[in-house]
């Protein structure tokens, strides 16, 4: 275990950024999101949850795939370069790290998404333990320990220091880069924090949310439940839950006419949108009930069916906090539990 005094963090950021780009929680116009570190950046490690998860670092909300030029009848394509430089994502919480592992199951399964894969290869994850979980958190339900997240390097903020532990080879290499700034430390402060967090996690309102009955085998039983008819009603059909979610990975591929060619890009999409499944000859999900159901069925039934039972939810609670109508996955799970369905 190593540590660095909190007042020296700017030096640590600068040292990391000297060798590779550094992405970390930055406050801009009152909101904290993952962003590129610069000397002027207002780094914010105090806010527990960035508005968007850290998934942008590996699966950006919008990215160009290739550019297409037309010269007379001839088309030429210029694929976008894959990430070739290392970068560090600092301050990712345990839930978001798990979120990335879930995205891995999608993007690194055959055929591998090379854009994502290149970023995963070059990205170094420095996670940060949660010092003060909040009421919307329910990562424990998914077996995540927010006091000891996964990552290449794991860090804790306790008693005026950032404690630092390399957990992988990549993490060791990064540690070596900044070794001058770190001092050896014992684990007492971190152990104390872990114990304190474990006690708090037990008291979180959704700590004991039960996922009993949700698995990949209950497809038609859950799909045909009359509960959806009541649950979807307040849904505004916006994409807030989808876009703040660390595991939602649906995307659209679109063209952007630059005036000098066509940029083909992909961007996050939402199964909540009416045109998501629209085809020239019709739409197989015409009602918001169907679209609403799709999102939760995917996270709690379809995804587990294809991924050895793993849910596509990490309990980060962003949808709980951000839904304009106060709908969320917790309410859905509880409604089914109450009905015993």
Q: Please list every residue from 269 through 328 that binds another protein, using CB under 8 A.
A: 269-271, 273-281, 283-285, 290, 294, 297-298, 301-302, 305-306, 321-322, 324-327
Binding flag, residue 260, another protein (CB under 8 A): no
For residues 33-52, which are near another protein according to CB under 8 A? Answer: 33, 48, 51-52
Residue 126 makes CB contacts below 8 A (sequence gap 6+) with: 88, 89, 90, 91, 92, 151, 152, 153, 154, 155, 171, 174
164 versus 336: smaller Cβ distance to another protein: 336
Binding flag, residue 255, another protein (CB under 8 A): yes
Binding flag, residue 338, another protein (CB under 8 A): no
Angle between helices 114-122 and 94-107 (to 10 degrees): 140
Q: Which stretch binds another protein (CB under 8 A): 1-9, 12-20, 36-44, 77-85?
A: 77-85
DSSP 164-195: EEE-SHHHHHHHHHTGGG-EE--SHHHHHHHH
Binding flag, residue 215, another protein (CB under 8 A): no
Q: Sign of dihedral through CA atoms 240, 46, 175, 145?
A: negative
187 versus 325: smaller Cβ distance to another protein: 325
> Out of 7, 39, 40, 81, which residue is the one contacting another protein (CB under 8 A)?
81
Binding flag, residue 239, another protein (CB under 8 A): yes
Provide, rounded to whole angstroms, the least separation between the CB of residue 165 and another protein.
26
Looking up tokens 């709908």, which residue turns up? 327
> Out of 256, 310, 337, 341, which residue is the one contacting another protein (CB under 8 A)?
256
> Out of 2, 242, 292, 300, which residue is the one contacting another protein (CB under 8 A)?
242
The secondary structure of residue 159, as a DSSP letter, is T
């Amino acid at each position: 275990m190593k540590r660095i005094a909190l007042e020296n963090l700017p030096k640590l950021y600068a040292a990391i950024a000297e060798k590779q780009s550094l992405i970390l929680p930055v406050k801009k116009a009152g909101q904290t999101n993952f962003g590129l570190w610069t000397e002027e950046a207002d780094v914010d490690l105090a806010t527990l949850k960035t508005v968007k998860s850290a998934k942008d670092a590996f699966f950006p909300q919008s990215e160009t795939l290739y550019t297409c030029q037309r010269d007379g009848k001839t088309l030429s394509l210029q694929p976008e370069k894959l990430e070739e430089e290392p970068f560090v994502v600092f301050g990712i919480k345990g839930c978001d790290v798990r979120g990335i592992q879930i995205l891995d199951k999608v993007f690194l399964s055959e055929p591998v998404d090379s854009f994502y894969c290149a970023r995963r290869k070059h990205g170094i994850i420095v996670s940060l333990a949660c010092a003060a979980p909040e009421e919307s958190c329910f990562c424990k339900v998914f077996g995540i320990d927010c006091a000891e997240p996964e990552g290449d390097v794991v860090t804790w903020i306790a008693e005026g220091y950032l404690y630092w532990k390399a957990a992988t080879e990549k993490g060791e290499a990064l540690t070596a880069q900044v070794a001058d700034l770190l001092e050896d430390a014992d684990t007492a402060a971190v152990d104390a924090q872990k114990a304190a967090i474990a006690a708090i996690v037990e008291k979180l309102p959704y700590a004991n949310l039960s996922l009993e009955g949700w698995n990949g085998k209950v497809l038609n039983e859950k799909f045909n439940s009359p509960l959806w008819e009541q649950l979807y009603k307040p849904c505004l059909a916006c994409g807030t839950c989808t876009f703040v979610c660390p595991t939602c990975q649906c995307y659209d591929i679109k063209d952007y006419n630059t005036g000098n060619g066509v940029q083909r890009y992909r961007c996050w999409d939402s199964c909540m949108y009416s045109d998501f499944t629209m085809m020239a000859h019709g739409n197989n999900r015409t009602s918001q009930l169907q679209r609403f159901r799709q999102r939760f069925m995917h996270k709690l039934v379809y995804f587990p069916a294809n991924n050895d039972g793993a849910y596509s939810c990490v309990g980060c609670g962003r949808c709980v906090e951000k839904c304009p109508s106060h709908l969320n996955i917790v309410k859905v799970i509880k409604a089914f539990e109450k009905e015993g369905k």
